[in-house]
Chain A
Amino acid sequence: MISYLRRGLAQHLRHSRTLLALTVLGVALGVASVVAIQTLNQGSLLAFDGSVRAISGQADLSVTGTLPTLPESLLPVVLGDRDVAGAWPLVRANVAVTGRPDLNLDIIGFDVFAPVRYPLQDVAATGDDAARRDPFASLHQALVQPGWVAITPELAAQEGWRVGDVIRASSGSRAVDLTVGALVDFRRFEPLAPRRLAVMDIAQAQELFGRPGRIQQVDVVLRKGADAADAAARLQAALGPGVRVQTPEQRRQDASALLAAFRLNLTALSLISVFVGVFLVLTAVQASLVRRRREFGLLRSLGATRAQVMGLVLGEAAALGALGVALGIPLGWLAARHNLQAVSATLTSIYVTEGIDRLTLPAPVVALGAAVGMLGALAGAALPAWDLARRDPLRLLSPLSVHEAAGRAAGRLALAAGALAAAGSLWFFTLGREMRLGGFLYGLVMMLALPLLVPLVVRTACGWARPGRFGPALSLRNLQARLQATGFAVAALAITVSMMFGITILVGSFRQTLVTWLDVTIRADVYISSESWQRTGNDAFLDPALLDTLRAWPGVVSLEEQRRLRVLAVDGRPVWLNGLRLTDRPLPGVPQADLAGRLPMMAGEPRAAVAALRAGSVLIGEPLARKARLGVGDTLRLAGPAGAVALPIAGVTYDYTSEGGTAFVAMDVLNARFDAAPPNNAALFLAPGTDVERTVDALKNALAGRPLVIRSNRTLRAEVLAVFDQTFAVTRTLQAMALLIAALGVSVTLLIQAHERAGELALLRALGATRRQVFGLFLGEGAAMGALGLLLGLGGGLGLAALLILVINRTWFGWTIRPAWPGTALAGQALVVLAVAALAAVYPASRARLARPGQLTRDDL
């Protein structure tokens, strides 16, 4: 039987190259989507891990602040603990490299005399003559040469930088010339160390990029035999509530928890395409079996057992699955790399400071991809194989029995769909809604129910077709006649369309909601921030002298300072705390400067909220309110430098800046109770009649060479929306992949029919049908499948959109999205689906038109 399988498959390969190629491609696309998403998922966590291991790999504990910085005066306290064998401070800054829009350096300022051993390379190895003569002079330079920095060999190679080259970098409004003084090869510690790491002496790092007396971290080595948990608890008690003392593993877990939502979203998206992918495999295998049923009937008649036939079918499916896996894994890897930048940008703007700058293909991801591909192929083959095996050999030898069976089962399948949907709904609305994954599971159940409806819908839709002559009605009737084969393709298409429409409605509604929100909140004329803020969201500042210049600029009537500080709630939840500068009196002629008019209140009244802010209350964003279950009248407890800071909540605002938590307090409260520092951003209100774009141009000219980002209201909005679109770029890739898979389904189905219906087509040709008419018949069948898929998908899409907007989005992100109907986009996609389905039919149709009357046999009459 094995040798039959081998020979059979080889023959099958020769005769049906296109069909098999499409099947393999289908599996490959499904596998690729899983691999791509999971690789990016792993990448996000590995980036954090790699960074932590490279920088703090030698430490047993790390002391970080609940605020981004710590007073360095804590160091002697840490050093004094009885179990501490060594401790060193780190100043960290994420700085922008001028002229390189995608490049940041993650600066680590460390004490070159501390017992931490960073793998600074003997620069003599770089071939520099001066360095060869005197290899250690340059290390002494770390202390005395302004801007001395050691970069990774990979970055040096990537950028073509050599020892002695000058790099212009910026943090906030401050630009600094760094000189490459040495190389630091973190890969010797950690293969996944980010290439953006750069090392300099702590004094220089603090002067150039930090704040006097403030550090970001203290890394601690314990003496041999010390209990890390004990030491951590003791240090925590000694250092007070403003700090966190954690093992590297705890920090990893924190990051992992932070990234969980992000990773789950991606996984959920990839599951949808796997779902579609499995469907395609099912379609392809089913189609292939339908074509070869006579062969199996013959085998059974000749004495092959049911198990042997089943083994044969499953063996073939496994072989196809393996080919698909072999193709899908590299494809997924390429897709992951293609989307790296977009995903990394989302990560750093929302979750953690560590962007992904390299990807690896971890063995578990390869295993997962392989498992999905193989199981998908086997699952796709299992049902038809069982069906074939259990059937009477005689029936297998007669052509249309399978389709008739499907036709008879249509009603029962629809009933099953109804039952499944009802059970799913009952579960979701009673229990599932409380579960975090409930929405996803509910969506999955509904997506499973959808294909069960397909036979009934196809039968009903095609039932009224009365083919009197060649035309669309005949195409429809053909679909109905071969329900089992076409049903799978239509179902795959329906699911894809559901996903496409669901996500399009979600994204469209979200975008519309965002635009409305921007209209309310973005009201100043000119916005000023820094390159480093723009790229990394770090807490770099604008120089107070710069603010004075801006205030005095012609036409400026008001400058609003803005500051965002990452703090922790008492429960460990990260919160972006925004400081708002409250003006005392309204500005005549500039009503938009009035804060009360710019607060998109969800709960609470704007005027009262502003008064409460002034009195020390806080406004919280909707995601925080939902996730922490807080509302007006409750208290927000944040970790301040000297213990918990309790702030009464005066209002809840719609907020789409972060899915984490956002809160707003008066700038004075931020400075006094958390951390006093200059602002990160500034917004300018101009006198009525001032030309905004001209003012922006003049500011850009005057401040040329400063690492600032100066934008008009209009540009800022456009950029916010561009970031939004970038965030959803991955979704579009997945949509396209799923559509491609579904189109392949249509192609495969029709191609098989072209083979299978050779006799029928010959008869049609003999009766006078032209090749053109046969071509049209197949094209019509493709278009009809597209239309039916669209019809079902529209219903599924609406349901999915409702689920995404009203349930999943609120649970996972905490945003209110006002449903909108992106009609143009949906209509466009509908046309694309129809066109793709028709296009997918072109090749099978061109094969079918080759049917000759001479192929007619007695059987066909």
Chain B
Amino acid sequence: MRRQARNGMMVTAALLAAALACAALPGANTNTPPAPAPAEGWLRAAPGYAWSFPRDHYAHPAHRTEWWYLTGHLREEGAPADAEPVAFQFTLFRIGLDPLAPPPGGSTWRAQALVMGHAATTDPTAGRHVFSETLWRAAAGLGGFGVPGDTTLAWCAAPPGTPGRWSVALQDGAFLVRARDDQRGLAFDLSCASATPPVLQGPGGFSPKDASGQAGSLYYSLPRLSVTGTLRRGDRDVRVTGQAWLDREVFTSTLGASQTGWDWVSLQLDDGRDLMLYRLRTADGRVDFALGTLAAPDGTSRSLVREQWSLEPLSQWTSPATGAPYPVDWRLRVPEAAIDVELRAILPDQENVSTRTGVHYWEGGVRAVTPAGKPGAGALRGRGFVELTGYGAGSRPPV
């Protein structure tokens, strides 16, 4: 029976993979099943996209995949200044199933897309990382996406066992995010406002994912959002304030054939600058492609090519749940911007294990500190998030 259940699980995961299927070619060195060729009719992300806000905060149903990705650090109101903040992540994914809109009058279950939600909090004081997920059709009262003019940008039903919805909405210029999972003791309801306009990642907001410059995503960020709201700590909801980072990526295909995962860093430095870096890895651990963006406090930004920065792992943590080895502490150098910091995970175990899709990845809050051996070693220089995908067997993200 157990084996049957697992086989059934594989089917579910495979189906999801098929639905997600973006990368047309089979992963040469992965355990992921070969994905089908991309369905006809999806628009590919390409350079020269004409951005317009707030329109582009809403869904892009002509592209196959996109996400609203919020990460940040929250401090309980009235807590002492040296209290460690709680890190949170909230993501809603739109996963296109069919580029054609459902026929009118058909079943309410006919869906153009899935909506997948991931939410996590990491409380370093309690030493606890909580992850919750949802996966629904964007249909039948279980999920959906707003169109320009609506308040809601994206929403879905909360996970089973919890009433209500998970949602990201736009109201009076602020992003309202709401997630709750009663069975796991996770809940937040936050308002995130940005004082600066979006930072376009990559040239013109097209973020290439390989050297050819053809594959890539439409990508922008709001790197410094001021947050107020409530957060569940233990069995009570407390008022919190803090800072968050919103990433929006829209694409039809990203990972190249030989790419198995990526390392991604966002960093809010105390001096007001914001840094985003990513690099794509191949199965042998080699970096296939890398790029970054440094934004000044006023919102102006410039790209950082691969040669302008370095990221070296300092220590590794192996997940007891999945056996995946994650480099959780890093040395980050951007010499020409006078950035040289160590990124220290606020908790080693910040792994998200998705039982619905079979995918696992590390998404965790980090403190940026002055490296050891330097004057003022260990001093806090900023806070950020690190995302590590494709570590361990069979964990190539199905994108």
Residues of chain B within 8 A of A113, CB atoms compared: 12, 15-16, 114, 135-137
Residues of chain B within 8 A of A79, CB atoms compared: 157-158, 160-161, 163
Residues of chain A within 8 A of B7, CB atoms compared: 117, 119
- Please, what's the 1-or-0 string for B1-28, where 1 marks a CB less than 8 Å from any CB in chain A? 0001101110110111111010000000
- Kindly identify which residue among B12, B141, B164, B182 contacts A75, using a CB–CB cutoff of 8 Å: B141
Q: What is the bound-complex CA distance between A84 and B183, given in angstroms? A: 9
Binds B, one of A132-140, A397-405, A581-589, A666-674: A132-140
* B54 is an interface residue with CB less than 8 A from chain A: no
Binds A, one of B102-110, B146-154, B187-195, B382-390: B102-110
Q: What is the bound-complex CA distance between A207 and B109, given in angstroms? A: 9
Q: What is the bound-complex CA distance between A111 and B157, given in angstroms? A: 15
Q: What is the bound-complex CA distance between A111 and B161, given in angstroms? A: 19
* A202 is an interface residue with CB less than 8 A from chain B: yes
- Kindly identify which residue among A83, A189, A203 contacts B4, using a CB–CB cutoff of 8 Å: A189
- Please, what's the 1-or-0 string for A128-151, where 1 marks a CB less than 8 Å from any CB in chain B? 000000111101101110000000
Q: Verify A212–B105 contact, CB threshold 8 A.
A: yes
Residues of chain B within 8 A of A86, CB atoms compared: 160
Q: What is the bound-complex CA distance between A120 and B98, given in angstroms? A: 22
Please provide the chain A residues from 180 to 202 with a CB less than 8 Å away from any CB of chain B in the complex: 188-189, 201-202
Q: What is the bound-complex CA distance between A451 and B164, given in angstroms? A: 74
- Kindly identify which residue among A81, A87, A117, A189 contacts B12, using a CB–CB cutoff of 8 Å: A117
Q: Verify A134–B36 contact, CB threshold 8 A.
A: yes
Given that A113-B136, A134-B36, A223-B183 are known contacts, is A139 also in contact with B14, CB under 8 Å in the complex? yes
Q: What is the bound-complex CA distance between A79 and B106, given in angstroms? A: 24
- Kindly identify which residue among B18, B142, B162, B163 contacts A136, using a CB–CB cutoff of 8 Å: B18
Given that A72-B108, A111-B137, A136-B18 are known contacts, is A84 also in contact with B160, CB under 8 Å in the complex? yes
Closest beta carbon of chain B to A191's beta carbon, Å: 13
Q: Verify B107–A207 contact, CB threshold 8 A.
A: yes
Q: What is the bound-complex CA distance between A545 and B85, given in angstroms? A: 66
- Kindly identify which residue among A73, A83, A119, A202 contacts B109, using a CB–CB cutoff of 8 Å: A202
* A115 is an interface residue with CB less than 8 A from chain B: yes
Give B135's nearest chain A residue, CB to CB. A113
- Please, what's the 1-or-0 string for B39-57, where 1 marks a CB less than 8 Å from any CB in chain A? 1000000000000000000
Q: Verify A117–B8 contact, CB threshold 8 A.
A: yes
Q: Verify A143–B98 contact, CB threshold 8 A.
A: yes
Residues of chain B within 8 A of A136, CB atoms compared: 14-15, 17-18, 33, 35-36
Q: What is the bound-complex CA distance between A204 and B106, given in angstroms? A: 9
Given that A136-B33, A188-B4 are known contacts, is A111 also in contact with B158, CB under 8 Å in the complex? no
Residues of chain A within 8 A of B5, CB atoms compared: 117
* A475 is an interface residue with CB less than 8 A from chain B: no
Q: What is the bound-complex CA distance between A137 and B34, given in angstroms? A: 10
Give B21's nearest chain A residue, CB to CB. A140
Q: Verify B34–A134 contact, CB threshold 8 A.
A: yes
* B128 is an interface residue with CB less than 8 A from chain A: no
Please provide the chain A residues from 351 to 408 with a CB less than 8 Å away from any CB of chain B in the complex: none
* A213 is an interface residue with CB less than 8 A from chain B: yes
Q: What is the bound-complex CA distance between A691 and B18, given in angstroms? A: 59
Please provide the chain B residues from 339 to 357 with a CB less than 8 Å away from any CB of chain A in the complex: 356
Please provide the chain A residues from 109 to 126 with a CB less than 8 Å away from any CB of chain B in the complex: 111-113, 115, 117-120
Residues of chain B within 8 A of A72, CB atoms compared: 108-109, 140-141
Please provide the chain B residues from 172 to 214 with a CB less than 8 Å away from any CB of chain A in the complex: 182-183
Q: Verify B18–A82 contact, CB threshold 8 A.
A: no
Residues of chain A within 8 A of B107, CB atoms compared: 202-204, 206-207, 210, 212
Q: Verify B141–A76 contact, CB threshold 8 A.
A: yes
- Please, what's the 1-or-0 string for A41-81, where 1 marks a CB less than 8 Å from any CB in chain B? 00000000000000000000000000000001101100111
Residues of chain A within 8 A of B164, CB atoms compared: 80
Residues of chain B within 8 A of A221, CB atoms compared: 160
- Please, what's the 1-or-0 string for A74-107, where 1 marks a CB less than 8 Å from any CB in chain B? 0110011111111101000000000000000000
Q: Verify A85–B18 contact, CB threshold 8 A.
A: no
Q: Verify A76–B161 contact, CB threshold 8 A.
A: no
Count of chain B residues with a beta carbon within 8 Å of a chain A beta carbon? 46
Residues of chain B within 8 A of A81, CB atoms compared: 161
Q: Verify A117–B9 contact, CB threshold 8 A.
A: yes
Contacts across chains A and B counted by CB atoms under 8 Å: 118
Residues of chain A within 8 A of B265, CB atoms compared: none
Instruction: Name B's interface SS.
Output: loop
Q: What is the bound-complex CA distance between A144 and B9, given in angstroms? A: 21
* B111 is an interface residue with CB less than 8 A from chain A: yes
Give A208's nearest chain B residue, CB to CB. B107
Closest beta carbon of chain A to B181's beta carbon, Å: 11
Q: What is the bound-complex CA distance between A120 and B10, given in angstroms? A: 10
Closest beta carbon of chain A to B15's beta carbon, Å: 5
* B119 is an interface residue with CB less than 8 A from chain A: no
* B97 is an interface residue with CB less than 8 A from chain A: yes
Residues of chain B within 8 A of A139, CB atoms compared: 11, 14-15, 18
Q: Verify B160–A85 contact, CB threshold 8 A.
A: yes
Q: What is the bound-complex CA distance between A84 and B158, given in angstroms? A: 12
Q: What is the bound-complex CA distance between A75 and B158, given in angstroms? A: 12
Q: What is the bound-complex CA distance between A207 and B139, given in angstroms? A: 14
Give B97's nearest chain A residue, CB to CB. A143
Q: What is the bound-complex CA distance between A538 and B9, given in angstroms? A: 33
Q: Verify B106–A207 contact, CB threshold 8 A.
A: yes
Closest beta carbon of chain B to A377's beta carbon, Å: 43
Q: What is the bound-complex CA distance between A142 and B98, given in angstroms? A: 12
Q: What is the bound-complex CA distance between A113 and B9, given in angstroms? A: 11
Closest beta carbon of chain B to A57's beta carbon, Å: 9
Q: Verify B109–A203 contact, CB threshold 8 A.
A: yes
Give B35's nearest chain A residue, CB to CB. A136
Give B36's nearest chain A residue, CB to CB. A137
Closest beta carbon of chain A to B107's beta carbon, Å: 4
Please provide the chain A residues from 504 to 549 with a CB less than 8 Å away from any CB of chain B in the complex: none
Residues of chain B within 8 A of A203, CB atoms compared: 106-107, 109-111, 139
Residues of chain A within 8 A of B106, CB atoms compared: 203, 207, 212
Q: What is the bound-complex CA distance between A307 and B225, given in angstroms? A: 101
Give B110's nearest chain A residue, CB to CB. A203
Residues of chain B within 8 A of A83, CB atoms compared: 161
Q: What is the bound-complex CA distance between A115 and B5, given in angstroms? A: 10
Q: Verify B160–A75 contact, CB threshold 8 A.
A: no
Q: What is the bound-complex CA distance between A127 and B330, given in angstroms? A: 50
Q: What is the bound-complex CA distance between A134 and B24, given in angstroms? A: 11
Give A205's nearest chain B residue, CB to CB. B107
Q: What is the bound-complex CA distance between A89 and B139, given in angstroms? A: 13
- Kindly identify which residue among B8, B34, B108 contacts A119, using a CB–CB cutoff of 8 Å: B8
Closest beta carbon of chain A to B77's beta carbon, Å: 28
Q: Verify B19–A207 contact, CB threshold 8 A.
A: no
Closest beta carbon of chain A to B389's beta carbon, Å: 21
Q: Verify A117–B163 contact, CB threshold 8 A.
A: no
Given that A80-B162, A140-B36 are known contacts, is A207 also in contact with B110, CB under 8 Å in the complex? yes
- Please, what's the 1-or-0 string for A219-245, where 1 marks a CB less than 8 Å from any CB in chain B? 001010000000000000000000000
Tell which of A73, A85, A134, A135 has the most Cβ of chain B within 10 Å. Answer: A134
Q: What is the bound-complex CA distance between A142 and B142, given in angstroms? A: 20
Q: Verify B18–A137 contact, CB threshold 8 A.
A: yes
Give A140's nearest chain B residue, CB to CB. B18
Residues of chain A within 8 A of B4, CB atoms compared: 117, 119, 188-189
Q: Shortest 7 CB-CB distances between A and B: which pairs?
A: A117-B8, A80-B163, A203-B109, A206-B107, A203-B110, A140-B18, A137-B36
Known: A113-B136, A140-B36, A221-B160. 6 other contacts (CB 8 A): A72-B140, A79-B161, A85-B183, A111-B137, A139-B15, A223-B183
Pairs across A and B, CB under 8 Å, 19 listed: A72-B108, A72-B140, A73-B141, A79-B160, A81-B161, A85-B161, A86-B160, A89-B140, A113-B137, A115-B356, A117-B9, A117-B11, A134-B34, A144-B39, A207-B110, A212-B106, A212-B107, A221-B160, A223-B183
The interface of chain B, by Cβ under 8 A from chain A, is: 4-5, 7-9, 11-12, 14-19, 21, 33-36, 39, 97-98, 105-111, 114, 135-137, 139-142, 157-158, 160-164, 182-183, 356
The interface of chain A, by Cβ under 8 A from chain B, is: 72-73, 75-76, 79-87, 89, 111-113, 115, 117-120, 134-137, 139-140, 142-144, 188-189, 201-204, 206-207, 210, 212-213, 221, 223
